[in-house]
Structures are given as C-alpha cells and as structure tokens.
Structure 1
Amino acid sequence: MKKTKKILPPTYFIILLLLSIGLHFVFPIKKIIFPPYTYLGFILIIFGGVINIWTDLLLKKRKTTVKPYEDPTYLITSGPFRISRNPQYLGFTAILLGIAVNHGTIITFLPTIIFVVLMELIFIPSEEKNLERIFGKEYIEYKNRVRRWL
C-alpha cells in the first residue's frame, strides 16, 4: 500500500470517546442502566485497555506496523489475535461500550455504534484485502479459523 496521510482508527476512537462523554452531559436522554449495573462499564473499560496494550506490545515485539494503511511485515496469530482478527478495534469498542454502560444513558451508546460501523466500512475490508495480498493462503486459513470481532 502506498503511504498517505489519513485519519487513523485511534483518532476516530478519541473523537467518539469525547463525543460519548459530551453527549451524556449535554443530552442525558433516557437513563437505561442504573447502579450498581453501571459499574460493569469499568470492567469493559479495563478489558479494552488490557487488550489494546497487549496488542500494541505484540505488534512492537514483532516489529510490524500498527497503521492500517501500511504493509505489515508479520502475520500475528497469537495472543489476542487468537480470539479476534481485530483486537485493537475490539479493545476500542469495549472502552466505548464501557463508557456508555457507566453513564447509563441511551445517547452514549451512539458513538460505539458509529465506531463499529466506521471500522466495518472503512478499515477492516481494505486491511483484510491487503493481508490476503501479502500473506496469501496463510492469512486465508487464519481468517477461516478466527472471527473478525469475537
């Protein structure tokens, strides 16, 4: 893939995270989750953070790119990649969902949905096509064995 300056998934994540928090305070429409259940959001936030840190460490260890617009040099199938082909997106989604659950208002779930749709429409298809081009049969076998999200 040729190098271009494009918005990366972490940027969308940060924008949507701030949007989720902002929407909760500006438009606290219909609380649907109440304490003590809102505290389950912290578990999702921690899970997402752990998955993202683990994934980043693994990518750095294998010296391959984290950027979806660059060609990877190594196909990682261990660690969090055993349960998800997109563990970073899974981690970001878990954090956004955790924030929404913690706030408990219906409007805070909207950014989580937007994030998943953006990843599904913009990033994942081109990433998978690129991985298939670079790693061929090895990636296809991995793709058949491991689910996209969970």
Structure 2
Amino acid sequence: MMKALELKIPPVIIVVLVAGLMLLVASLFPQVQFGPLPNWISLAVAILGVILPLVAAISFRRAQTTVHPSNPEKTSTIVTTGIYRVTRNPMYLGFAFILLGWGLYLGNMVALFGLPAYMFYMNAFQIKPEERILTEKFGQAYQDYRSKANRWL
C-alpha cells in the first residue's frame, strides 16, 4: 500500500489537501488560537513560498530538464546551481512556506501540525522515491550533490 502512493499524487494537490485539513482543524479546535499576528507576516511567508518554486522552475527550464514531479526518470540533468546549492527541493520547500504562512494566518497551534504532516508525506512518498530514481540514473554525481545540498534547508 505504501509503495502505491509513491509519486502518485501531485505535490500541489497535497498542499491543497493539507491546507484544507489545517482549516478544518482550526475550526474544530478554536481554543488553541494564538496571536494575533499581523497579516503581513503570514503573507510575507506565503509569498516566499511562491517565489521559491518559481525560481526553481526557471532553473529547471534553463537546464532543459523536466519539472514534472511524477516522472523523475525523465530528468536529463542534475541542477546544482542557484537555489539548488542550498536545498535539493526548493519547490517542496516553497510549498512548506505557503503552508506555514497559511497556518500563521489561521493562528491555530493545532493547524500548524499540518506542516510536519506535509513534510513527512513529501519525504516518504515524493522525495525519497525521486532520490532513489536519480541515484539510479546519475550514480555518483547525484550522491556527490546530495552530500553538498540539504534535502530541505
């Protein structure tokens, strides 16, 4: 069953599902509200979350490789420059920032648990399978890159 989820659900769908669950949880547990935080803080975090995937996608386009998360075997090259020097997964990191911004906007401690849930899912069903495929495809070159750039931050 677990392997059946690998690379199956597009990450954007996961973000939407987690964001919806965060909203649901916030409404079910109103007693754990925090804040108030100025809305600009959550907006700034979410904007960073939008910028990271855009910068990453531009890097992929320049390298003429796929950005499609369900087909990592179609990757033609390992992108190691720009934002990819800092994180191997800036698109997924950006989505995490969007969820963090959403959680801050909701102002609910329980809703913030959506962020580690998202990261757990992405590690297990998206990132690790991608890493396995990229290691098979690029061998030592990908292993060397993994030793230089962190998975998230």
The normalised TM-score by structure 1 is 0.86
Tell me which residue corresponds to 1:20: 22
How far 1:59 sits from its partner (Å)? 1.7
Deviations 1:61-110 (A, max 9, x none): 32222233321111101122111011111000011011111221112212
How far apart are the structure 2 equivalents of 1:49 and 1:10?
Answer: 12
How far apart are the structure 2 equivalents of 1:92 and 1:29?
Answer: 27
CA distance 1:32–1:5, shift in 2 (3 Å): closer
Paired residues, number: 146
**What 5-or-longer segments of structure 2 have no aligned partner?**
1-5
Partner amino acid, structure 2, of 1:101: L
- Aligned sequence identity (%): 27
Deviations 1:101-145 (A, max 9, x none): 122111221221211010111111111111111111111111101
> SS of 2:121's equivalent?
helix
Runs of 4+ aligned structure 1 residues displaced above 6 Å come to none
Contact 1:12–1:115 (CA under 8 A) maintained in structure 2:
yes
Partner amino acid, structure 2, of 1:144: S
Partner amino acid, structure 2, of 1:147: N
How far apart are the structure 1 equivalents of 2:7 and 2:132?
Answer: 19
**Is 1:42 the equivalent of 2:48?**
no
RMSD of Structure 2 on Structure 1 (CA)? 2.0
The normalised TM-score by structure 2 is 0.85
How far apart are the structure 1 equivalents of 2:134 and 2:96?
Answer: 22
**Is 1:134 the equivalent of 2:125?**
no
Tell me which residue corresponds to 2:3: none
**Structure 1 residues 1-150: aligned runs within 5 Å:** 6-25=8-27, 27-36=29-38, 39-70=40-71, 71=73, 72-150=75-153
**What 5-or-longer segments of structure 1 have no aligned partner?**
none
> SS of 1:106's equivalent?
coil
How far apart are the structure 1 equivalents of 2:7 and 2:120?
Answer: 21
